[in-house]
Amino acid sequence: MIRRTRPVAGAIALLAALTAGIAFPAGAAAGEPTGQDAPKVDLVLDVSGSMRARDIDGQSRMAAAKQAFNEVLDATPEEVQLGIRTLGADYAGDDRKEGCKDTAQLYPVGPLDRTEAKTAVATLAPTGWTPIGPALLQAADDLDGGDGSKRIVLISDGEDTCAPLDPCEVAREIAAKGIGLTIDTLGLVPNAKLSRQLSCIAEATGGTYTSIEHQDELTDRVNELVDRAAEPVVTPVATEGAGSCDKAPVLRSGLYTDREEFGQQRWYRVELLAGQELRASVSVAADRAVRPDHGVLMRAVTVHGREIVRGEATGSGRTDVASTGLRYPKPEIADDDSGKPAAETVCLGVTTSFSADAGVKTTPGLPLELTVDVVDGPDDAADVASFGLGRGWWLLGALIVTGFLAGLVWGWLSRWRVAVWRTN
């Protein structure tokens, strides 16, 4: 389960871009932004009777959700069209058939009137059943139309009570439509069965599952997901890394997706000309229950196996994404007797140390996003490649010399004062 998270900024794609400091050149990269329409988000909130439980920071789950929604509405970017759908908010009876119809659009997806949306949220009171499957189907219709990003954020404290309409199957049907809709799920109680169901829903559409135990975590996570929807829609290119560099696919600048099984190593190749700079990053999402301690390692090596540079990161289970990146400027140095700068093949290796308890699926592998950017390097690329700090060495040297001289002067002054004191 992915617990109490506020990941490092971002969609898996944004995390990768920030890690490497990447800006893709227009028209040149795989996985370019597409779509001009406004991004759409539908917040789907469970308002079933169990939301009365008072186990989130001394208040009820419903009160925590209302407070979080008010803060999210204040922070929603102007360009995002946001709506709110409820499930279990209206029917309090015992008729299961009626209870499983209980989903309604509280606030329509469109330009946000913050006051009106807050007023609608304030009217909610925990009431009935938990028809997650029907709510997801309706939410997908709420977001219909346009080619901007579409995201459902489902917040629930219990499992669906309307089987056999399995919400996992509903999520898979939505994904199969190819409408580019992502479902992210948040569970308000640390319950194993709920976690499995919400993880399955998220996994089906490439979304994330987060376990929430505090109100501020709920606010932060929903804010992140709404902000993520406002980012440009990027269509990653599917690729398949190899077990060795010599068999690895050659990648150009762009955003790529792959899957990597626990403990597996994947290799990719990038071609660099002299004077160019490689910036690469990787993000691996834990889309199922994994053990808390894990890590991801990215290495750039030569075709002969010599390591050039590496980036690594570790996780403690508090985030649903582990990300790292690296940077390698190829110096303007002749690599052969001709005196002309030669191209170089750089092998990118990605290794993870995720593990899981018995019974957790290991296939398909964990979703991986790889960002590659090849750009013209800075003028001092050779210095950076040779020394790592580039011109920073000059600054470091100047500081050392200055400190040394200051120490000499201070020592001389101290001895002079002592000598004058003894004379007097």
Q: Which of 284, 287, 250, 286 is nearest to 267 (CA)?
A: 250
* pLDDT confidence band for 48 (50 / 70 / 90): very high
CA distance 225 to 150: 11
Q: What is the pTM of this model?
A: 0.55
Q: Say whether both 185 and 275 belong to one domain.
A: no
Q: Which helix (H) or strand (E) holds 83?
A: strand 81-87
Would you say 316 and 290 are in contact if contact means Cβ atoms under 8 Å apart? no
CATH number of the domain where residue 147 is located: 3.40.50.410
Share of the chain above pLDDT 70, in %: 77
- For residue 257, pLDDT beyond 90: no
Q: How confident is the model at residue 17 (pLDDT cuts 50, 70, 90)?
A: very low
Domain match, 224 and 251 both: no
Lowest-confidence region among 183-192, 247-256, 335-344, 375-384: 375-384
- Residue 335: inside a domain, yes or no? yes
- Identify whether 62 is part of a domain: yes
Q: Are 209 and 299 in contact (CB under 8 A)?
A: no
**Domain-ending residue, one of 204, 230, 256:** 230
Residue 97 covered by a domain: yes
Most confident of 9-23, 223-237, 313-327: 223-237
Which tokens is 48 given?
Answer: 């079933």
The last residue of a domain, from among 168, 197, 230: 230
Q: What percent of the chain has pLDDT over 90?
A: 42
Region 63-73: mean pLDDT is 95
The residues facing 285 across adjacent strands are 321
50 assigned to some structural domain? yes
Q: Rounded mean pLDDT of 211-239?
A: 85
Confidence of residue 405 (pLDDT cuts 50, 70, 90): confident
Give the residue-averaged pLDDT of 229-248: 84
In 179-285, at which residue ranges do the beta strands (DSSP E only) sit? Answer: 181-187, 209-211, 237-238, 254-260, 265-272, 276-285
Instruction: Using only the alpha carbons of the chain, give its radius of gyration.
Output: 27
Q: Are residues 173 and 139 in the same domain?
A: yes
Q: Which domain holds residue 111?
A: 34-230
Of 171, 206, 230, the residue that ends a domain is 230
Angle (nearest 5°) at CA 68 between 65 and 73: 120
Q: Grade residue 192 by pLDDT with cuts at 50, 70 and 90.
A: confident
Domain at 298, CATH number: 2.60.120.380
24 found inside a domain: no
Q: Determine, yes or no, domain membership for 332.
A: yes
77 and 196, same structural domain? Answer: yes
Residue whose C-alpha is closest to residue 87's, from 173, 162, 193: 162
Q: Are the beta carbons of 205 and 174 closer than 8 angstroms?
A: yes
Q: In the predicted model, is pLDDT for residue 52 greater than 90?
A: yes
Q: What is the mean pLDDT of the chain?
A: 81
Q: Are residues 222 and 244 in the same domain?
A: no
- The answer, yes or no, to whether residue 169 has pLDDT greater than 70, is yes
Give the confidence band of 302 by pLDDT, cuts at 50, 70, 90: very high
Residues 222 and 268 occupy one common structural domain: no
Q: How far apart are CA 382 and CA 9, in angstroms?
A: 32
Greatest distance between any 2 Cα atoms in the chain: 104
| One domain for residues 168 and 198 | yes
Q: Given this model, what pLDDT does residue 124 score?
A: 94
Q: Is 207 found in the same domain as 255?
A: no
Are 282 and 371 in contact by the 8 Å Cβ rule? The answer is yes
- Residues 285, 206 within the same domain: no
Give the pLDDT confidence score for residue 340 in this predicted structure: 57
Q: What is the pLDDT of residue 179?
A: 78
Q: Considering the domain boundaries, does residue 398 fall inside one?
A: no
Q: In this model, does residue 403 exceed pLDDT 60?
A: yes
**Is beta strand 81-87 parallel, antiparallel or unpaired with respect to 103-110?**
antiparallel
Confidence check: pLDDT of 288 > 50 = yes
Per-residue pLDDT of 174-185, as tens digits, reads 887 777 799 999
Q: What is the mean pLDDT of residues 358-377?
A: 84
Cβ proximity of 34 and 147 under 8 Å: yes
Those residues whose C-beta lies under 8 Å from the C-beta of residue 280, and which sit 6 or more positions away, are: 20, 270, 298, 300, 325, 326, 327, 348, 370, 371, 372, 373
Averaged pLDDT, 296-306: 92
State residue 59's pLDDT score.
94
pLDDT tens profile 129-158: 999 999 999 999 999 988 888 999 999 998
CA 148 → CA 181, 251, 280, distances in Å? 10, 27, 27
Domains identified in the chain, total number: 2
* 252 and 217 together in one domain: no
Same-domain status, 261 and 371? yes
pLDDT digits (tens, 9 = 90+) for 268-277: 999 998 888 8
Confidence of residue 27 (pLDDT cuts 50, 70, 90): very low
**Cβ-contact 329, 381 below 8 angstroms:** yes
Q: Do 196 and 282 sit in the same domain of this protein?
A: no
Are the CB atoms for 92 and 105 separated by under 8 Å?
A: no
Tokens 């406002």 identify what position?
A: 230
- pLDDT confidence bin for 190, thresholds 50/70/90: confident
Q: In this predicted model, which residue has the larger pLDDT, 243 or 356?
A: 243
Least confident of 14-23, 111-120, 181-190: 14-23
DSSP string, 48-82: SGGGG---BTTB-HHHHHHHHHHHHHHH--TT-EE
Cα 206 to chain center, whole Å? 11
Rounded Cα gap, residues 284 and 8, in angstroms: 12
Residue 15 binned pLDDT confidence (cut-offs 50, 70, 90): very low
Q: Other C-beta atoms within 10 Å of 347: how many?
A: 21
Could you tell me if residue 64 is inside a domain? Answer: yes
Highest mean pLDDT among 247-256, 314-323, 375-384, 392-401: 247-256
Q: How confident is the model at residue 44 (pLDDT cuts 50, 70, 90)?
A: very high
Task: Tell me what the mean pLDDT of segment 323-340 comes to.
Answer: 70
